[in-house]
Amino acid sequence: MSNEKNMNSALSITPSSSKILHFYNKRFIFFAISLAIMLFGLINVKLFGVQLDIQFKGGALLKYTYTGDIKADDVGDAATDILGRPVTTQITEDMKTGDKRLVLNIAGNYGMDAKEQVKFDDALKAKFSGNSLDLAESSMVEPFFGHKFLTNGIIAIVLSFCLVMVYVWIRFKKIGGLSAGLMAIVALIHDILVVFFTCVVFKIPIGDSFVAVALSIIGYSVNDTIVIYDRIRENHDLHPKIAVDTLTDLSISQSITRSINTNIAVCLSVTIVYIMARFNSIDSIESFALPMAIGSVSGCYSTICIAGPLWVMWQKHKEKKLPVKKQK
């Protein structure tokens, strides 16, 4: 009778293999997918370059309303001749009202003072007198402040990485805190690169919105990773003799529903924000919402398919070294 009870208790704490999703065995597929995304992003960087917002590089951004038909290239050429500085132009449209705007991005090592702006405005309106140009919005940033904003943004991201590393290292000492922290950082770097390449592919200028998205994704992704690490720690106590790859697959399988549901909720809400911003031509919201939506998907993916399998590989490497040390 006692033997039967012991058998039943053993069965109750043994995980069923039918309920375990085997992520570790498919790790190289996941790694290949991530590598393909990185290569695609790098190719786009090589072909199209990285567009910095004036907040980071300095210069001026002018937005004009107009009537009739106008070619952005013609305006860009005329603006370059007037200022003697590189000017890129594009035409945007308000999906709600149908109104079109001419956006001029003026690069350079300095902004524009009030007199220079008035002189440029008069010259441009005279050149395109038939289009009733009207200055709707202007932004000026000196390069000194632009470089300072860029430096502070990078410092904020790097500092968040360091704090995440220390936190995970301390909290998850029981399952190898250092390795857990390093794999969490690898997953975060993966997510930040995905957000960066999203901006490159969709030609979204890298500015304060990118920093806001990066910090948001870091917080979201690391929270997801911590949930899985916490589950691994609990299952390690419940099933101390299970192989580390099975333990991790079990832990991910138990928390994957939560991760996916959270990601769907985040992605849907941010997508709705993006659609509304697109419909109302709110550029600052668009430049935040689209990378955030894609970054949230990447955060869920990297937690499940990158951080977990990499941590298992680290642990297996350590296990192989232990017998060698004992022999010595």
- The whole-angstrom separation of Cα 102 and Cα 257 is 46
pLDDT of residue 95: 66
**Residue 248, pLDDT above cutoff 60:** yes
**Residue 54, pLDDT above cutoff 70:** yes
Decide: 160 and 215 in contact? Cβ < 8 Å: yes
- The whole-angstrom separation of Cα 164 and Cα 143 is 32
What pLDDT band is residue 15 in, cutting at 50, 70 and 90? Answer: low
Look-up of token digits 């689209």: 290
DSSP state letters, 165-210? HHHHHHHTGGG-HHHHHHHHHHHHHHHHHHHHHHHHHTT--BSHHH
Query: Residue 289 has what DSSP assignment?
Result: H
Q: Does this chain's domain 37-49+145-319 share its CATH topology with 59-141? A: no
> Thinking of the domain 37-49+145-319, which architecture would CATH place it in?
Up-down Bundle (1.20)
pTM of the model: 0.79
Q: From the centroid of its chain, how far is CA 325?
A: 41
pLDDT of residue 300: 93
Decide: 277 and 289 in contact? Cβ < 8 Å: yes
Q: Which long-range contacts (CB under 8 A, 24 or more apart) does 153-157 make?
A: 153/56, 153/208, 153/210, 153/211, 156/211, 156/215, 157/192, 157/211, 157/214, 157/215, 157/218
Residue 47 structure tokens? 């072909």
What pLDDT band is residue 5 in, cutting at 50, 70 and 90? Answer: very low
3-state secondary structure 233-283: HHHHHHCCCCCHHHHHHHHHHHHHHHHHHHHHHHHHHHHHHHHHHHHCCCH
What pLDDT band is residue 114 in, cutting at 50, 70 and 90? Answer: confident
- Mean pLDDT estimate for the chain: 85
pLDDT of residue 113: 73
What are the backbone angles phi and psi of residue 255, rounded to the nearest 5°? Answer: -110, 0
Q: Burial, 158: exposed, middle or buried (Cβ in 10 Å; 0-12, 13-18, 19+)?
A: exposed
Q: What is the fold of 59-141?
A: Alpha-Beta Plaits (3.30.70)
pLDDT of residue 11: 38
**Of the candidate ranges 104-113, 168-177, 275-284, the one whose mean pLDDT is the lowest:** 104-113
Decide: 41 and 50 in contact? Cβ < 8 Å: no
Residue 153 structure tokens? 């943004």
pLDDT digits (tens, 9 = 90+) for 56-66: 777 788 889 88
Pairing of strands 100-106, 59-65: antiparallel
Domain map of the chain by residue range? 37-49+145-319, 59-141
pLDDT digits (tens, 9 = 90+) for 163-219: 999 999 999 988 888 899 999 999 999 999 999 999 999 988 888 889 999 999 999
